[in-house]
Homo-oligomer: A and B are copies of this chain.
Amino acid sequence: MKDFNFEVSTKILFGRNGLEKLSKEIKKHGSRVLLCYGGGSVKKTGLYDKVVENLKENDIFFVDMPGIEPNPRVESAIKGAALAKENNLDFILAVGGGSVIDCAKLISVAALTDANPWDIVIGKERVKSALPIGSILTIAATGSEMDKGSVITNLETKQKLGWGSPKVLPKFAIMNPEFTYTVPKYHTAAGTADIMSHTMENYFSVDDSAYLQDRFAEGILKTMIKFGPIAYNDPENYEARSNIMWANSWAINGLLATGKTQEWSVHAMEHELSAYYDITHGVGLALLTPNWLRHILDDETVEKVRTFGKNVFEIELTDDKFADANKAIDALEKFFKDEMHIPMSLREVGIDEEHLEEMASNTIKHKNGNVKGFKELSKEDVYEIYKMSL
Q: Mark A1-37, 1 if CB is under 8 A from B, else 0.
A: 1111111111111111110000000000000000000
Asked if A360 is an interface residue, CB under 8 A from chain B, the answer is: no
Cα-based distance from A5 to B176 in the complex (angstroms)? 12
Asked if A111 is an interface residue, CB under 8 A from chain B, the answer is: no
Residues of B within 8 A of A211 (CB): 223, 226-227, 239, 243
Closest to A209 in B: B239
Closest to A213 in B: B246
Most buried by B among A14, A219, A226: A219
Q: Are A7 and B3 in contact (CB under 8 A)?
A: no
Asked if A220 is an interface residue, CB under 8 A from chain B, the answer is: yes
Using a CB-CB cutoff of 8 Å, which residues 184-237 of chain A contact chain B? 209-213, 215-216, 218-220, 222-223, 226-227
Cα-based distance from A180 to B184 in the complex (angstroms)? 50
Residues of B within 8 A of A258 (CB): 14, 246
A interface residues, Cβ below 8 angstroms from B:
1-18, 177, 209-213, 215-216, 218-220, 222-223, 226-227, 238-239, 242-243, 246-247, 250, 255, 258-259
Closest to A172 in B: B7
Residues of B within 8 A of A218 (CB): 215, 219
Q: Are B7 and A242 in contact (CB under 8 A)?
A: no
Q: Are A215 and B223 in contact (CB under 8 A)?
A: yes
Q: Are A6 and B12 in contact (CB under 8 A)?
A: yes
Most buried by B among A1, A16, A238: A1
Closest to A223 in B: B212
Cα-based distance from A259 to B211 in the complex (angstroms)? 25
- Expressed in whole angstroms, the minimum distance between the Cβ of A175 and any Cβ of chain B is 10
Most buried by B among A5, A13, A220: A5
Cα-based distance from A226 to B215 in the complex (angstroms)? 12
> What are 18 pairs between A and B in contact, CB < 8 Å?
A1-B238, A1-B243, A1-B246, A2-B15, A3-B15, A7-B9, A7-B10, A7-B11, A7-B12, A211-B223, A212-B223, A212-B243, A213-B246, A215-B220, A215-B223, A242-B259, A246-B258, A250-B255
Q: Are A6 and B11 in contact (CB under 8 A)?
A: yes
Residues of B within 8 A of A226 (CB): 211
Q: Are B5 and A11 in contact (CB under 8 A)?
A: yes
Specify which of B16, B212, B213, B220 is in contact with A212 (CB 8 Å cutoff).
B220
- Expressed in whole angstroms, the minimum distance between the Cβ of A311 and any Cβ of chain B is 9
Closest to A5 in B: B13
Residues of B within 8 A of A6 (CB): 11-12, 14
Residues of B within 8 A of A17 (CB): 3
Q: Are A212 and B246 in contact (CB under 8 A)?
A: yes
Residues of B within 8 A of A4 (CB): 12, 14-15
Cα-based distance from A17 to B2 in the complex (angstroms)? 11
Known: A215-B219, A219-B216, A219-B218. A3 touches B9 (CB 8 A): no
- Expressed in whole angstroms, the minimum distance between the Cβ of A226 and any Cβ of chain B is 7
- Expressed in whole angstroms, the minimum distance between the Cβ of A202 and any Cβ of chain B is 13
Known: A209-B239, A216-B216, A223-B215. A8 touches B8 (CB 8 A): yes
Residues of B within 8 A of A222 (CB): 215
Closest to A15 in B: B3
Residues of B within 8 A of A11 (CB): 5-7
Residues of B within 8 A of A210 (CB): 243
Residues of B within 8 A of A177 (CB): 1
Known: A215-B218, A243-B1, A247-B212. A9 touches B12 (CB 8 A): no
- Expressed in whole angstroms, the minimum distance between the Cβ of A9 and any Cβ of chain B is 3
For the complex of A and B, the 8 pairs showing the least CB-CB separation, nearest first, are: A3-B15, A215-B219, A9-B9, A1-B242, A7-B11, A6-B12, A212-B223, A209-B239
